[in-house]
Amino acid sequence: MTKHLLSILFLTLVLVAGNSSLAQYSNMTSLTYDVTLPVGNSADFIDGLQWRGVAFEARRFLDRQFSIGFEFGWHIQSVKSTDLLQLPNGAISGTQVRGTNALPLLVTAQYYLSKDRQEIRPYAGLGAGMTYIDQRWDLGLYSLTTYNWHFTLKPEVGVIIPLGDVDGMVAASYTHAFDSGQTAYGNEDNTQQYFVFRVGLVWSRF
Amino acid sequence: MRLSFLVGPVNRGKLLMLYAAVGAALLFSSCYPDYNLSATDYDLVMTRYAPGTNFGAYDTYMMPDTVIHLDGDTLTGTNKLLSRKYDQAILSTVAAHMQALGYQRVAVDTTNPADVALIVAASGSTTIYYNYWYPYYPGYGGWGGWYYPPTVSVGSYSTGTLYVNMLDPAQRDSQRRFPVVWFAAANGLLNATSSPATRITEAIDQAFAQSPYLKTN
């Protein structure tokens, strides 16, 4: 399953990048700082805003209001906790450090409300692809780790703001990494979910 | 993206991109935040009990006045990693908690045993680890890059575990084995600079604190 999805992703990227008929349209690359907020299953493991995240995205416009592209991100989430762990018929106390590294690799598509590049352009987009997530659970001297690839969908809304030589980007998205493999913390469902709040710079070529 | 984008005349936009990239690299220079963990952060206390045990029905306990030092599979051996210095403090701390829970200590008597027997034991072991480090520089121009031979660093740490086992002599099986109805295992780094006596006492305190069901009626 994972191999097939990766193949589809790779082929799509090659086709998008290699299609010379699209060369007449503009390109956009962005580098953003991402703050993430785990929700659902992910929040059971690590909760609260997470301040370490970065993403690179390249978009190619098919017309003035529609672009496709790819995105690579790196989102780090971690927390230190001394909460008592309840077990069946017992408990464990000690310092826990829980962490995840999530690396989404997505094909994306966006629709822009405005055609004018000099205006603030709100957009809505969708990303699909694979996310590599490692989870680590350190408990005292013991450490449990898992590594999995998750099929991922990521709806996003944002705005491109003209600033001069470069543009600015502010966006919010929801990453839903579907169940895959095992968690490091014993939960059977390894679906991972988090919001991304993104601010960054955009470079355009016309 | 064409290479000319990167090597063309420098403008403010490209400089900003460079700054942003360098900033991102600095941000991610270490994966996880450094939580400044100390030796006590590696201390762990686990407690488990046998389901269905009615601890309220127990009144008396007996406890040998020695801590059994485990060495591998040997039950009564000695372990060069462990000191006898803390044995009495361990036993008196356990006894104080048992008294606070309402248990009455009686002399060790195998023919007429107390309701429960406490066996306190300790083990220690050393783990050796190796770090392989391969510095590698990516190719530049027509070169294939270069690398240094691997360097290896070796380190070790010693860990200790203190066990407090509560046995029920009345449930002895046909092979004269006593079932464990409750146990606590406190695990941590040995030879740490922070006070071992305090860490051991706190671990025992925590083991009883997270086992309120041990209280007698």
Residue A173 has pLDDT above 90, yes or no: yes
pLDDT-based confidence at B2, cuts 50/70/90?
very low
CATH of the domain at B148: 3.30.160.670
Of A104-108, B84-88, B151-155, B194-198, which range is least confident? B151-155
Rounded to 5 degrees, φ, ψ at B168 are: -115, 100
Question: How many structural domains are present in chain B?
Answer: 1
Q: Which residues contact A111 (CB under 8 A, 6 or more apart)?
A: A65, A66, A123, A124, A125
| Run of H or E residues at A107 | strand A96-112
Residue B170 covered by a domain = yes
pLDDT-based confidence at B134, cuts 50/70/90?
very low
| Residues of chain A with C-beta less than 8 angstroms from the C-beta of B52 | none
Q: Of A31, A89, A93, which has the smallest distance from its Cβ to B206's Cβ?
A: A93
Average model confidence (pLDDT) across chain B: 77
**Residue matched to tokens 């450490």:** A143
Residue B14 covered by a domain = no
pLDDT at A34: 96
Q: Tell me the C-alpha distance between B180 and B160, whole Å.
A: 21
A2-11, B19-28, B47-56, B66-75 — which one is most confidently predicted on average?
A: B47-56
Residue B136 covered by a domain = yes
Residue in chain B closest to A99 (alpha carbons) equals B32
Tens digit of pLDDT for each residue in A177-206? 999 998 887 778 999 999 999 999 999 886
Measured between alpha carbons, how far is residue A136 from residues A22, A45, A143 in Å? 43, 10, 7
Residue B170 has pLDDT above 50, yes or no: yes
pTM of the model: 0.73
pLDDT at B27: 60
pLDDT at A21: 43
| Residues of chain B with C-beta less than 8 angstroms from the C-beta of A58 | 1
pLDDT-based confidence at B57, cuts 50/70/90?
very high
pLDDT-based confidence at B124, cuts 50/70/90?
confident
pLDDT-based confidence at A59, cuts 50/70/90?
very high
More confident residue, B35 or A151: A151
Q: Which residues contact B86 (CB under 8 A, 6 or more apart)?
A: B196, B197, B200
| Residues of chain A with C-beta less than 8 angstroms from the C-beta of B124 | none
Q: Per-residue pLDDT averaged across A100-125, rounded?
A: 94
pLDDT at B140: 43
Q: Which residues contact B60 (CB under 8 A, 6 or more apart)?
A: B103, B104, B105, B106, B114, B115, B116
| Residues of chain A with C-beta less than 8 angstroms from the C-beta of B47 | 90-92
More confident residue, A33 or A17: A33
Residue B112 covered by a domain = yes
Check: CB of residue A93 under 8 Å from CB of residue A73. no
Q: Which domain holds residue B97?
A: 35-214
Q: Of A90, A101, A141, which has the smallest distance from its Cβ to B42's Cβ?
A: A141
pLDDT at A99: 93
Residue B210 has pLDDT above 90, yes or no: yes
CB atoms B44 and A93 under 8 Å? yes
Check: CB of residue B203 under 8 Å from CB of residue B173. no
Residue B95 covered by a domain = yes
pLDDT at B193: 66
**ipTM score assigned to the predicted complex:** 0.72
A142-151, B157-166, B183-192 — which one is most confidently predicted on average?
A: A142-151
Average model confidence (pLDDT) across chain A: 87
CB atoms B45 and A29 under 8 Å? no
Residue B200 covered by a domain = yes
**Residue matched to tokens 């490209």:** B14
Q: Tell me the C-alpha distance between B176 and B172, whole Å.
A: 5
Residue B143 covered by a domain = yes
Residue B195 covered by a domain = yes
Q: What percent of chain B has pLDDT over 70?
A: 67
Instruction: Walk me through the domains of chain A, giving residue ranges and CATH numbers.
Output: 2-205 (2.40.160.20)
Check: CB of residue A148 under 8 Å from CB of residue A103. no
Whose CA is closest to A202, among A157, A156, A173, A168? A168
